[in-house]
Amino acid sequence: MVTYLAQHYLDHSQNVFPTQIAVRCAGSQMTYRKLYQSSNQLANSLRCNGISRQDRVALYLRRSPNCIIAIMGILKADAIYVPIDPKSPIARVMKIIDDCKPSALVCDTETVEQIIKVIPQMGYLPKIFVMEYRDRLSIPSCHSTIDQEQIERAVGTCPDYRNVDSDIACILYTSGSTGEPKGVMISHLNIVNYIEWAVDCFGINQQDQILNTAPFHFDMSTFDIYCSLKSGATLCIVPENLLLFPDRLLDLMEKEGITIWKGVSSLLMYIARSASLVRRRLPTLKKVLFGGESLPTKYLIEWMKAYPDKLFYNVYGPTEATGISAYYLVKDLSQDASEKIPIGRACGNTEVFLLKEDDSMAGIEEVGELCIRGSGISRGYWNDRAKTEEVFITNPLTQIPGDRVYRTGDMALLRKDGNYEFLGRKDTQVKYLGYRIDLSEIEHAIITLDNVRDASVILCPSETFCMSKLVAFVVAENGLDPQGILAELSNKLPRYMLPQRVLLVKDIPRTDRGKIDRQTLGELLSNRDPQS
């Protein structure tokens, strides 16, 4: 079967593995045949209600198998799915809706009540599909909604597809440095290019049980969903209430016989810190992929000591490049916690390279901005041509029209062994005391200290002094105090890189993508010390 659209994976697997469990979550499950039929019904219902090619359809659902039905149904209707986090503040939800102007929203009993309250603010009336039966809904009858009973009246045959591979499959909203949501346009070609490589590289087949811990509005979930659908594996969606309890999450992984997990580094760090890693646990787990942000080496050491028989991959890839752009199989991990874990080499049909400030290519062990080219590069940002043209550029090394390169804003170097090493964000490089400093380098040094669990550093202006200062936020234990931290750091960092202030905190705030939330840290400092 020729595969050029993302939904072709489901069409193929339902033919080959009709009775195989496709999705499982919190005791409920469905076969590939059922997923195929239900998504066809939703697709035909969407079409009957005026949804057409490349219309946006917002996915506003809590974590459940319904999310996969909805994603497949929207794609089968030739439309674009736009996943929205139901836990987001309603102001952010409205910004996304205002930006992409969805023709329809797919909701459940809880989220539909939230959205109906703000419909008057939209300025138009999108169709609302509620994946629940009418007798379970408590919404005013004046609102026109299509419920589950009406969806199931639609035929279950597969509609004819009108899309081509360059059409947009989904818009994933992420936050930039300003905190404003920006929608990354991911095409069918982007997804298929990524998944064809990933399934082959990681040897995924119908025997696998793939754990999904990533939110569906996060690009990490692309791996979970489509690797499962292509290979006929089972996708195991972790219920929301288990993500905060490491022991219960590991229990679920054992119960479900999980074989592959792609998780954010912060969650692996959280589990390691909880003392939940016991060698006898997770007997079926074979491969762990981690990414989203750098995983401190000392936590990977704990994972690999507990599970020496499992494979660990450090994976790197921004949303703008669909999924994974570079990967590294960790084999001989140094026991030195200060040694960084490489992000490795480029994936199939992908090129990564480093550009210096003058747009020339950086040499071996030279620092440069990491750039990516290939079929994984997205279409750009929805409704933001200026931002798209700023970072999706013509390859400066060739100047060939149409040779697009994505400038990631990430700084890296190419090691002598041919592996890339991630150094930090371009926007975390600051000028301080005349020196150019990378805040992530200070953070890395702090985290390597004994009894430090997590850390982040920001450069903040000071009203008391006529210059900015470096402030470190540290999660410590066993009585470690700020002066002790600074004393130990003085043996690791030059004097100009030492923080002027160390604040002990309970946790480092992170986004749902596992990245340090520096904006919240700045607000925390202002609230704690208005004169800072």
Of 112-116, 211-215, 448-452, 528-532, the range with the highest mean pLDDT is: 211-215
Question: Residue 361 has what pLDDT?
Answer: 96
In this structure, the number of other CB atoms found within 10 A of the CB of residue 64 comes to 18
259 lies in some domain: no
Specify the number of domains making up the chain.
2
CATH number at 67 reads: 3.40.50.12780
Residue 412's contacts (CB-CB under 8 Å, 6 or more residues apart) are 343, 354, 367, 368, 369, 370, 420, 421, 422, 423
Q: Is residue 167 part of a domain?
A: yes
Rounded Cα distance, 525 and 532, in Å: 8
pLDDT-derived band at 155 (thresholds 50, 70, 90) equals very high
Asked whether the whole model's pTM tops 0.85, one would answer yes
Is 283 contained in some domain? no
Q: How far, in Å, CA of 518 to CA of 510, rounded?
A: 8
Q: What pLDDT is attached to residue 532?
A: 43
pLDDT band at 266; cut points 50, 70, 90? confident
Q: What is the average pLDDT score of the chain?
A: 91
| pLDDT of 248 strictly over 70 | yes
Q: In what order do the strands lie in the sheet with 234-237?
A: 28-31, 21-25, 234-237, 209-212, 260-264, 287-291, 311-316, 326-330, 345-346
294 pLDDT band (50/70/90 cuts)? Answer: confident
| Residue 89 falls inside a structural domain | yes
Express each pLDDT in 69-81 by its tens digit. 999 999 999 999 9
pLDDT band at 392 (very low <50, low <70, confident <90, very high): very high
Token pair for residue 519?
């904006």
Q: What is the pLDDT of residue 477?
A: 85
Confidence of residue 530 (pLDDT cuts 50, 70, 90): very low
Compute the average pLDDT of residues 249-258. Answer: 96
Q: How confident is the model at residue 520 (pLDDT cuts 50, 70, 90)?
A: confident
Q: With respect to residue 80, please indicate whether it lies within any of the assigned structural domains.
A: yes
pLDDT of residue 244: 84
Q: Looking at residue 462, what is its pLDDT?
A: 62
pLDDT digits (tens, 9 = 90+) for 434-452: 677 878 889 988 998 988 9
Q: Over range 150-168, report the average pLDDT.
A: 96
Instruction: Give the three-state DSSP class for 278.
Output: coil
Domain of residue 146 covers 8-243
Report the pLDDT value the prediction gives residue 529, as an integer from 0 to 100: 59
The answer to the question of residue 93 being in a domain is yes
Which residues are CB-neighbours of 381 under 8 A, at least 6 positions away? 182, 183, 184, 185, 387, 388
Q: Could you tell me the CATH number of the domain that includes residue 497? A: 3.30.300.30
Shortest CA distance to 427 belongs to which of 180, 177, 175, 184? 177
Q: Return d(Cα 182, Cα 248) in angstroms, integer.
A: 34
**Over 60: is that where the pLDDT of 464 sits?**
no
Tell me the pLDDT tens digit for each residue of 198-237.
999 999 999 999 999 999 999 999 999 999 999 999 999 9
Residue 302 belongs to some domain of the structure: no
Give the model confidence (pLDDT) of 91-103 as tens digits.
Answer: 889 999 999 999 9
Report the pLDDT averaged over residues 293-313: 94
Helix or strand (DSSP H, E) at 13: helix 8-16
Of 243, 276, 307, the last residue of a domain is 243
Q: Which of 57-66, 299-308, 421-430, 470-479 has the lowest mean pLDDT?
A: 421-430
Q: Is pLDDT above 80 for 292?
A: yes
pLDDT reported for residue 178: 53
Q: How many whole angstroms separate alpha carbon 223 and alpha carbon 200?
A: 13
Task: Assign 531 a pLDDT band (cuts: 50, 70, 90).
Answer: very low
Q: For the residues 187-196, what does the mean pLDDT come to?
A: 98
Nearest to 125 by CA among 98, 104, 153: 104
pLDDT of residue 478: 80
Task: Please check the confidence at residue 467 and state whether its pLDDT lies above 70.
Answer: no
Q: Is residue 288 part of a domain?
A: no
143 has a pLDDT exceeding 90 = no
List the end-to-end C-alpha distance of the chain, in Å, as a whole number. Answer: 63
Identify the pLDDT of residue 142. 47
For every residue of 454-521, which 3-state class applies, written as one string?
A: EEEEEEECCCCCCCCEEEEEEEECCCCCHHHHHHHHCCCCCHHHCCCEEEECCCCCECCCCCECHHHH
Mean pLDDT of 411-417: 95
Of the residues 190, 216, 243, the one at which a domain ends: 243
Mean pLDDT of 41-57: 97
Last residue in a domain, options 220, 243, 266: 243
pLDDT value of position 227: 98
Mean predicted confidence (pLDDT) in 464-471: 69
Average pLDDT over residues 287-312: 94
Evaluate if residue 305 carries a pLDDT over 90.
yes
Distance CA 217, CA 173 (A): 7
